[in-house]
Amino acid sequence: MSNNVVVADHVSKKFRLFKERNNSLKAAMMRGRRAISEDFWALKDVSFEVPEGSTFGLIGHNGSGKSTMLKCLAKILRPDGGSCRIDGKVSALLELGAGFHPELSGRENVFLNGAILGLGQKELHRRFDDIVEFAGIGAFIEEPVKNYSSGMYLRLGFSVAINVDPDVLLIDEVLAVGDEEFQRKCNEKIAELKAKNKTIVFVSHAMVQVHNLCDNVAWFEHGNLKELGPARELVSAYTGAVQVDRQEDEDGARWGSGEGRIEQVELLDTAGRELSKLRSGDPATIRIHYRMAEPIEQPVFSLAIQTLDGTNVSGPNTRDSHCVPEKLDGAGHVDLHFDCVRLLPNTYDLTCSLFDFNNLHPYDVRHKFLRFDVERGPIEETNGLVSLGGRWQIGDLVSDA
Amino acid sequence: MTAIAEYRGSRELFANLALRELRSKYRRSVLGWTWSMLNPLSSMIIYTLVFSFFLRVQPKPGNPSGLHEYSLWLLCAMLPWNFYQNCVTGSIAGLLGNANLIKKTYFPRELIPASVIAANLVMHFIEMSILLVVLLAFGDWRALVFLPLTLVFILVVAVFGLGFGLLFSVLNVYFRDIEHFTSILFLIWLYLTPLIYPETELAHRTIGGISLLAIFKLNPFTDFAEIFRDTLYSGRFPGLGDTVYVIAFSAAILALGLYVFNRLEGRLAEEL
């Protein structure tokens, strides 16, 4: 039995688009009104509920109303219709380090920011060391924050917000900034909060993140709640809808900016002949054919092998294996060689993608690009998805590798 | 009920905002807090020169204190006036200056004007303490006797300033004219108040049969000026009529300020 700690009840929010704005008294009096405006409904009758301890994602195009929704939840904007309710202590991360005063030291700003987020002074004193340590800014804490690098600024802002120990955390895309280490720390912290049964509502364009973190998702379109449902279903429906806007492909979803493209993926045997299916235990090669429209620096190719029910079996990429060229241009191919295919007989989907080095910018993602079967071969195991290649020994009796 | 709980919860934030206001005010200025003394001091010197030396304005000696010093007489009313003026202009600047905070975080918005007034109150206390020391040095021991009463009236001025601060700061977000309007308003208001010249200058003048003083007495700061001169300069109890009038007026302004602020604060994040 879970109760809903975040409730949006028929929320509508109207913005005025000013054709003519009279911000001065004289103009207002001359025209007899303050402004000529047109109403724009940023949110129209949106309702949803978030059960305690779950993670809720808000997805949609830019301008679809997700951030407005989050600001209504955070009480920064007052809805024109309906109401929002949140039970418990709320910490809203709409901007990291919002309200930092540039002339004041990090220490003074931590106390101010903590107070805004609702943390008492005693509590702040107790957590101060944790906050500074998590932010990793050391002695800089006594410096005015205007001397901070943007990374230090963000880290300190996040560190305060996360140490408030909120019951409900509202996050607006703030995690998409910062360097890789920072992102990793953020994601770890969020996973930690999730494990502590905190309720999280966040806006994101990173579908991988939404897919991994969220239980439920609200999909916004032009201020309307288009769909509400489990994250897994909605993310694929959403990415499916997004790719319709871009490029169509019969085999599966495809998205990306398109500077570099994945043209073809083949399964080959050792002699370079194309295979229609693989055999468990045989050597094989997966060959990715690419074509770059412009030189791409440090491109990362990755594969995801999934079963039909969506279980990830393996996800090798060139970056983890330290095989990233400085630059690629034109057309060519990338090979992934297996001395022994350890997949057990089943049907698998292969997703192939081309990202930038930080894994943030997709050039081309071909979702479930290739479906292939693995049949029985030299490896005769049948249970599970892969063979780990162990050897049995009972006394003098030893099995094959 | 929820509003009260919210206010209680934001006590710490209120203290923090006021501290920030105080800390950042004179940051990076060489003289720092000395500035808060230099401003009233310089206006005191100017007004004393112009009004006391050149124009020969002569306020009556303090009764019963017997004090007869234009510059001290001036400061007793000028410091509360400066405090009030700083409250209003500070609130206006505070709401604009904290636009980022308002757009990105939630807290009761009244806290911004309130913290500005609190910060100014601290500085006002310091200024008044110095004035008190000087008054004592001039032998005006009654100022010390009436100190508790003076403190109460300082708080009444703070309420008065908070009321106008709330009103003007939120209106200014919608009409940026207010900011410019207030600088003129305060200049006119200053001269419409017997602050730098004594009330006796008005006593025998009339407009259309009505005594000018009676009209000027409608201005609550005329009464404030008189009250502070009573308790500090002259060393006597302020008039009951004046007292009731300023307290009622301040309460009414605070109520109006809160009402207008609450009506308009909902869309602050959009309008800023």
DSSP state at residue B61? P
Mean pLDDT of chain A: 83
Instruction: Quote the pLDDT of residue A116.
Output: 82
**CA A168 – CA A155 distance, rounded (Å):** 20
pLDDT exceeds 70 at position B252 = yes
Q: Which two tokens stand for residue B29?
A: 């200025």
Q: How far is CA B157 from the centre of its chain?
A: 5
> Å from A95 to nearest chain B CA?
6
User: Is B239 at the interface with chain A, CB within 8 A?
Assistant: no
Band of the pLDDT at B24, cuts 50, 70, 90? confident
Burial environment of residue A154 by CB neighbours within 10 A (0 to 12, 13 to 18, 19 or more): buried
Nearest partner of A62 among A216, A170, A289, A223, judged by Cα: A223
Set out the domains of chain A in order of their start, with CATH numbers.
4-243 (3.40.50.300), 254-375 (2.70.50.60)
- Model confidence at A241, in pLDDT bands (50, 70, 90)? low
Least confident segment among B61-65, B78-82, B189-193, B216-220:
B61-65
Question: What was the pLDDT predicted at B61?
Answer: 87
Tell me: cis bond preceding B194? Omega within 30 of 0 counts: no
The mean pLDDT of A115-128, rounded to a whole number, is 83
Angle at B146 between CA B142 and CA B151, to 5 degrees: 140
Q: Calculate what percentage of chain A has a pLDDT beyond 70.
A: 90
Task: Give pLDDT, residue A104.
Answer: 83
- Convert the pLDDT of each residue in A373-401 to its tens digit: 888 888 888 888 899 988 899 988 888 75
**What pLDDT does A190 receive?**
81
Q: Report the percent of chain B where pLDDT is more than 70.
A: 97
Q: Which residue has the tokens 């279980």?
A: A311
Compute the distance between CA of residue B90 and CA of residue B80 in angstroms, rounded to an integer.
15
B270 with A99: Cβ contact below 8 A = no
- Residues recorded for chain A: 401
User: Cβ–Cβ of A115/B175 closer than 8 Å?
Assistant: no
Q: Nearest CB to A116: which of B13, B19, B267?
A: B13
* Predicted pLDDT at A242: 59
Task: Report angle CA A147, A152, A154 to the nearest 5 degrees.
Answer: 115
Query: Any idea which of A98-102, A133-137, A215-219, B81-85 has the lowest mean pLDDT?
Result: A98-102
Minimal-distance CA residue of chain A relative to B263:
A78
- Using a 10 angstrom Cβ sphere, with 0-12 exposed, 13-18 middle and 19 or more buried, the burial of residue B130 is middle
Cβ contact, residue pair A24, B175, below 8 Å: yes
- pLDDT for res B190: 93
Q: What is the DSSP string of B162-231?
A: HHHHHHHHHHHHH-THHHHHHHHHHHHHHHTTTTSS-THHHHT-EETTEEHHHHHTTSHHHHHHHHHIII
Has residue B101 got a pLDDT over 80? yes
pLDDT at A366 over 80: yes
Identify the DSSP state of B235. -
DSSP letter for B116, please: H
Question: CA torsion sign, B123 to B125 to B131 to B137?
Answer: negative
Question: Hey, is B59 helix, strand or coil?
Answer: coil
Amino acid B176: pLDDT: 87
Most confident of A188-192, A231-235, A305-309, B110-114: B110-114
Average pLDDT over residues A101-110: 85
pLDDT, position A35:
59
Quote the CA–CA distance of A259 and A354 in Å, as a whole number: 10
Q: Check: pTM over 0.90? Answer yes or no.
A: no
- Radius of gyration over alpha carbons of chain B, in Å? 19
Closest residue by Cα to residue A262 from A358, A368, A106, A176: A368
Which residue reads 């030396």 in tokens? Answer: B53
The stretch A214-238 carries a mean pLDDT of: 84
DSSP B141: T
Q: What is the mean pLDDT of residues A22-26?
A: 65
On whether the CB atoms of residues B63 and B234 are closer than 8 A, the answer is yes
Q: Confirm if B94 and B116 have CB atoms less than 8 A apart.
A: yes
Higher pLDDT: A316 or A211? It is A316
**Measured between CB atoms, which of A24, A98, A104 is closest to B24?**
A104
Residues in chain B: 272
From the CA of A75, how many Å to the nearest CA of chain B? 6
What confidence score (pLDDT) does residue A245 get?
46
Cβ contact, residue pair A104, B104, below 8 Å: no
Query: Closest approach of chain B CAs to the CA of A103, in angstroms?
Result: 7
Find tokens 């001025």 and name the residue: B157
Chain A CB within 8 Å of residue B270 CB: yes
The whole-number pLDDT of residue A290 equals: 93
Q: Does B100 touch chain A (CB under 8 A)?
A: yes
| Dihedral angle of Cα A151, A156, A159, A163, to the nearest 10 degrees | -170
B13 touches A at CB < 8 Å: yes
Of A16-25, A164-173, B98-107, give the lowest mean pLDDT range: A16-25
**Res. A93 pLDDT band, cuts 50 70 90:** confident
User: Residue B247 has what pLDDT?
Assistant: 96
- With a cut of 50, say whether residue A25 has pLDDT above it: yes
Q: What pLDDT score was predicted for residue B52?
A: 87
Q: Is the pLDDT of residue A22 over 80?
A: no
Name the minimum distance, in Å, from the CA of B16 to any CA of chain A: 6
Question: What pLDDT is recorded for position A244?
Answer: 47
Indicate the average pLDDT of chain B.
89
Q: Tokens standing for A353?
A: 């993608």
Q: What is the pLDDT of residue A240?
A: 65
The pLDDT value given to residue B1: 40
Instruction: Provide the ipTM.
Output: 0.76
pLDDT of residue A23: 64
pLDDT of residue B2: 54
Question: How large is the average pLDDT for residues B60-82?
Answer: 90
How many CA atoms within 13 Å lie on the side-chain side of A154? 17
Residues near A124 by beta carbon (within 8 Å), at least 6 away in sequence: A110, A111, A114, A115
The confidence score (pLDDT) of residue B74 equals 92
Q: Could you tell me if B32 lies within 8 Å of chain A, comparing CB atoms?
A: no
Residue A235 has pLDDT above 70, yes or no: yes
Residue of B20, B175, B266 with shortest CB distance to A78: B266
Size of interface A-B (CB pairs under 8 A): 76
Q: Which residues of A touch B12 (CB under 8 A)?
A: 115, 120-121
Three-state SS across chain A? CCCEEEEEEEEEEEEEEEEEECCCHHHHHHHCCCEEEEEEEEEEEEEEEEECCCEEEEEECCCCCHHHHHHHHCCCCCCCEEEEEECCCEEEECCCCCCCCCCCEHHHHHHHHHHHCCCCHHHHHHHHHHHHHHHCCHHHHHCEHHHCCHHHHHHHHHHHHHCCCCCEEEEECHHHCCCHHHHHHHHHHHHHHHHCCCEEEEECCCHHHHHHHCCEEEEEECCEEEEEEEHHHHHHHHHHHHHHHCCCCCCCCEECCCCEEEEEEEEECCCCCECCEEECCCCEEEEEEEEEEEEEECCEEEEEEEECCCCEEECCECCCCCCCCCEEEEEEEEEEEECCCCECCEEEEEEEEEECCCCCCEEEEEEEEEEEEEECCCCCCCCCCECCCCCCEECCEECCC
A111 phi-psi bin (left φ>0, alpha ψ -120 to 50, beta other): alpha
Compute the radius of gyration of chain A from its Cα atoms: 26
> What does the pLDDT read at residue B112?
93
Is residue A246's pLDDT more than 50?
no
* Contact status of A367 with chain B (Cβ, < 8 Å): no
Domain ranges of chain B: 29-271
Residues B133-189 have pLDDT tens digits of: 999 999 889 999 999 999 999 999 999 999 999 999 999 998 888 999 999 999 999
Is the CB of residue B139 less than 8 Å away from at least one CB of chain A? no
User: What pLDDT sits at residue A252?
Assistant: 59
Both structure tokens of A89:
């202590």
Write the pLDDT tens digit of every residue in A28-83: 666 665 556 677 888 888 888 898 888 898 888 888 888 888 889 888 888 888 88
Q: Is the pLDDT assigned to residue B49 strictly greater than 50?
A: yes
Burial A300-324 (b: 16+ CB within 10 A, else e): bbbbbbbeeeeeebeeebbbeeeeb
**A120-134, A195-209, B5-19: least confident range:** B5-19
